[in-house]
Amino acid sequence: MRVILSVLGCVAVAGCAAPMPPGAELYDALCAGCHGQNGDGDGAVAAELPVAPADLTRLAARNDGVFPKDHAMAWIHGYPDRYNIRVMPEFGPLLDGPMVRVQAEDGTEVLTSKALVQIVAYLEAIQQTE
Ligand code: HEC
pLDDT in tens, 75-116: 898 865 555 667 888 888 878 889 999 999 999 998 989 999
Nearest to 26 by CA among 14, 35, 17: 35
Residue nearest to atom 13 of ligand 1 (CA): 53
Question: Looking at the predicted structure, is the pLDDT value of residue 9 above 70?
Answer: no
Mean pLDDT across the chain, nearest whole number? Answer: 84
Query: Cβ(122) to ligand 1 under 6 A?
Result: no
Choose among 18, 39, 17, 19: nearest CA to 28. Answer: 39
115 in contact with ligand 1, CB cutoff 6 A: no
Which tens digits make up the pLDDT trace of 14-63?
A: 455 667 778 999 999 999 999 999 999 999 999 999 999 999 999 999 99
67 lines ligand 1 (CB under 6 A): no
Cβ proximity of 117 and 103 under 8 Å: no
Which residues have C-beta within 8 Å of that of residue 102, sequence separation ≥ 6? Answer: 109, 110, 112, 117
